[in-house]
Amino acid sequence: EDQVTQSPEALRLQEGESSSLNCSYTVSGLRGLFWYRQDPGKGPEFLFTLYSAGEEKEKERLKATLTKKESFLHITAPKPEDSATYLCAVQAGSGGSNYKLTFGKGTLLTVNP
């Protein structure tokens, strides 16, 4: 069974204080690892997809990296508007279920001004 564990569950930062969120996973045959941002009462908003160990992607203050066991979402000099829940999900391929995503519980990030 595919498993995704995110840590920490919650993180409070001061504006400008950089940090990282962790997503560790156990899957058979990783096809892709996804990062989403979710605001309260909204659906997830796509951030990144990573496909292979060593891959990195950046978008504004966010940078996602991937190893064979985990992914990190680095937040550089965060702003209050970066406050949200960040979700990690994996897609593992096996026959007809190769489009399913398995999500972690998320990290609730709060950035104080």
Partner 1 sequence: GAVVSQHPSRVICKSGTSVKIECRSLDFQATTMFWYRQFPKQSLMLMATSNEGSKATYEQGVEKDKFLINHASLTLSTLTVTSAHPEDSSFYICSAVRAKFGYTFGSGTRLTVV
Footprint of partner 1 on 71-110 (CB under 8 A): 87, 89, 96, 99-106
DSSP letter at 46 equals: E
Nearer to partner 1, 7 or 49 (CB): 49
| Beta carbon nearer to partner 1, 18 or 97 | 97
Residue 29 gets which letter from DSSP?
A: S
Q: Does 28 bind partner 1 (CB under 8 A)?
A: no
d(CA 39, CA 63): 19
User: Considering the complex, what minimum distance in angstroms separates the CB of residue 18 from partner 1?
Assistant: 25
Q: Cα–Cα–Cα angle for 113, 89, 79, nearest 5°?
A: 10
CA–CA distance, 4 with 90 (Å, rounded to integer): 7
Cis peptide before 44 (omega within 30 of 0): no
Part of the chain binding partner 1 (CB under 8 A), chosen from 16-24, 38-46, 58-66, 73-81: 38-46
Question: Contact positions toward partner 1, by CB under 8 A?
Answer: 4, 34, 36, 41-46, 49, 87, 89, 96, 99-106
